[in-house]
Structure 1
Amino acid sequence: MLGQLKPQPEDAIIELMGRFKADPRPDKVDLGVGVYRNAAGETPVMRAIKAAERALWDSETSKSYTALAGDAGFHNAMADLVLADSVESTRIAAAATVGGTGALHIALELVKDAAPNATVWASNPTWPNHPPIIKRTGLRFAEYRYFDADARAVDFGAMMADLQTAQAGDIVLLHGCCHNPTGANLTLPEWQQVAALLTERGLIPLIDIAYQGFGDGLTEDAAGTRLIAAQCPEVLIAASCSKNFGVYRERAGVLLAIAADGPTRNVTQANLTALNRLNYSFPPDHGARLVTNVLNDPALRADWEAELEGIRTSMLSLRTQLADELRRLTGSDRFGFLAQHRGMFSRLGATPEQVVALREDHGIYMVGDSRMNIAGLSTDTVPLVAAAIAQTGI
Structure 2
Amino acid sequence: MLSHLTDQPADKILELMKLYRDDPRPQKIDLGVGVYKDADGKTPIFRAIKAAEKKLWEQEETKSYVGLIGDPAYRDALAGLILGDAVPSDKIAGAATPGGTGAVRQCFELARMANPDVRVWVSDPTWPNHLSILKFMGLPTQSYRYFDSETRAVDFDGMMADLAEAQPGDLVLLHGCCHNPTGANLNMSQWQAVVDLLLKTGATPMIDIAYQGFGDGLDADAAGTRLVASSVPELLIAASCSKNFGIYRERAGLALAISQEAARRDTHEGALAFLNRQNFSFPPDHGTRLVTLVLTDPDLRADWASELEDIRLGMLKLREQLAAELQAASGSDRFGFVAEHRGMFSRLGTTPEMVERLREDHAIYMVGDSRMNIAGLNAHTVPVLAKAIVDTGI
- Structure 1 residue 2, shift from structure 2 partner: 0.9
Conserved? CA contact 1:31–1:373, under 8 Å: yes
- Structure 1 residue 388, shift from structure 2 partner: 0.7
> What is the letter of the counterpart of residue 126 of structure 1?
T
Which residue is equivalent to 1:215?
215
Within a 5 Å distance, the mapping from 1:1-394 to structure 2 comes to 1-394=1-394
- Structure 1 residue 353, shift from structure 2 partner: 1.0
**RMSD between aligned residues:** 0.7
Q: Secondary structure at the match of 2:128?
A: coil
Deviations 1:108-128 (A, max 9, x none): 111111111121000000001
Distance 2:145 2:121 in 1: 10
- Structure 1 residue 375, shift from structure 2 partner: 0.3
Distance 2:181 2:192 in 1: 23
Distance 2:370 2:33 in 1: 12
- Structure 1 residue 260, shift from structure 2 partner: 2.9
Distance 2:109 2:250 in 1: 23
> What is the letter of the counterpart of residue 123 of structure 2?
S
Deviations 1:253-304 (A, max 9, x none): 0011002312211111111001001111100000000000000000000000
Distance 1:93 1:325 in 2: 47
> What is the letter of the counterpart of residue 260 of structure 1?
Q
Distance 1:138 1:111 in 2: 13
Distance 1:362 1:175 in 2: 32
Distance 2:115 2:91 in 1: 20
Distance 1:191 1:204 in 2: 15
Distance 1:162 1:132 in 2: 22
Distance 1:344 1:69 in 2: 30
Aligned residues with identical type, % of pairs: 63
Question: Could you list the runs of 5+ residues in structure 1 that have no partner in the other structure?
Answer: none
Q: Secondary structure at the match of 1:144?
A: strand
- Structure 1 residue 6, shift from structure 2 partner: 1.8
Deviations 1:350-393 (A, max 9, x none): 21111111101110000100000000000010011111111101
- Structure 1 residue 140, shift from structure 2 partner: 1.2
Distance 2:104 2:49 in 1: 25
Q: Secondary structure at the match of 1:308?
A: helix
Q: Secondary structure at the match of 1:123?
A: strand
4+ residue segments displaced more than 4 Å:
none
Segment of structure 1 superposing worse, 260-269 or 83-92: 260-269
Distance 1:70 1:343 in 2: 29
Distance 1:188 1:213 in 2: 17
- Structure 1 residue 167, shift from structure 2 partner: 1.2
Deviations 1:24-48 (A, max 9, x none): 1111000000000001110000000
Conserved? CA contact 1:320–1:339, under 8 Å: yes
Distance 1:167 1:301 in 2: 41
- Structure 1 residue 3, shift from structure 2 partner: 1.1
Conserved? CA contact 1:112–1:137, under 8 Å: no
- Structure 1 residue 205, shift from structure 2 partner: 0.5
> What is the letter of the counterpart of residue 217 of structure 1?
G
Q: Secondary structure at the match of 1:18?
A: helix
> What is the letter of the counterpart of residue 100 of structure 1?
G
Please give the TM-score of this superposition, normalised by the length of structure 1. 0.99
Distance 1:259 1:350 in 2: 41
Conserved? CA contact 1:252–1:288, under 8 Å: yes
Distance 1:338 1:303 in 2: 29
> What is the letter of the counterpart of residue 304 of structure 1?
W
Segment of structure 1 superposing worse, 177-186 or 108-117: 108-117
| Matched residue count | 394
Q: Secondary structure at the match of 1:129?
A: helix
Distance 1:375 1:355 in 2: 18
- Structure 1 residue 138, shift from structure 2 partner: 2.2
Segment of structure 1 superposing worse, 344-353 or 93-102: 344-353
> What is the letter of the counterpart of residue 392 of structure 1?
T
